[in-house]
Amino acid sequence: MRELLDWLSTLPDPLLYGAIVLAAFAENVFPPLPADTVIALGAFVAARGNGTALGVWAATMVGNIGGAMFMYWIGHRFGLPWLSRRFPALLPADASERFAERFKAQGMLAVVVSRFLPAIRAVVPPVAGALAIGAVRAGIAMTLASGAWYGIVCLLAFRAGENADTLLASVAGQQRLIGGIAVGVALVLLLVWWVWRRRRQAVADGGGR
């Protein structure tokens, strides 16, 4: 990470913002890329030069939403079975149907919550496209989630003082915290949906007698 930090420190502000855009875009296409770390270090460097927190956040959002919508188009163009065959590590065949059911049942809520979950957020855009969730709705949902996530990352970086190691530890801790909260929210939403379905079924059964 020190090498990456040293390299980012040599970039003028326009190129630094460009590197952040590319990292945020590539995260959606190549999920193993540690984009959060690149963005945090970029914000850390920008805070010590002429950059601004808003500028880093805006660059991140341009790249992230651009990459997400590109993957949305891929999913819409080729469909869920193709995604399962092409990216078995990200979307195993036995999990694709569960994703489909959740997304169909919860729509935008599923998109927002899932984008907070580090293990699965990379598959959200192509799955949303494959299930034909409207591009505008999906784009708004992903913007809300990414805006909140990267807003926290950028804020932490700008308040990290002079210690990059402290910054990286803070970002890692914050990711775990956000991920835990998102899992809790997802479970609550699933419970609410399950109760609603049971009550709806009970009403339907009662009306049929």
* Per-residue model confidence (pLDDT) at position 176: 61
**Within a domain: residue 74?**
yes
* Per-residue model confidence (pLDDT) at position 161: 60
pTM > 0.85? no
* Per-residue model confidence (pLDDT) at position 168: 64
For every one of its 209 residues, what pLDDT tens digit does the chain have, with 9 covering 90 and above? 667 777 887 888 888 899 999 999 998 888 767 777 788 888 888 877 767 888 889 999 999 999 999 999 998 998 888 887 777 766 666 666 666 666 666 666 667 776 766 667 778 888 888 888 788 888 888 898 888 888 888 887 777 666 666 666 666 665 565 556 556 666 666 676 667 667 777 766 665 55
Number of Cβ within 10 Å of residue 150's Cβ equals 25
* Per-residue model confidence (pLDDT) at position 98: 67
**Within a domain: residue 60?**
yes
**Within a domain: residue 197?**
no
Number of Cβ within 10 Å of residue 6's Cβ equals 11
* Per-residue model confidence (pLDDT) at position 4: 75
Q: How far, in Å, CA of 195 to CA of 105, rounded? A: 13
> For residue 198, what are the contacts with CB-CB under 8 A and spacing of at least 6?
none
Q: What letter does residue 116 receive in the DSSP assignment?
A: T
**Within a domain: residue 200?**
no
* Per-residue model confidence (pLDDT) at position 172: 60
* Per-residue model confidence (pLDDT) at position 58: 93
**Within a domain: residue 9?**
yes
Q: How many domains does the chain have?
A: 1
Domain that holds residue 154: 2-184
**Within a domain: residue 172?**
yes
**Within a domain: residue 109?**
yes
Q: Which one-letter amino acid corresponds to residue 197? A: R
On the CB side of 110, how many CA atoms lie within 13 Å of its CA?
Answer: 20
* Per-residue model confidence (pLDDT) at position 6: 75
* Per-residue model confidence (pLDDT) at position 81: 82
**Within a domain: residue 194?**
no
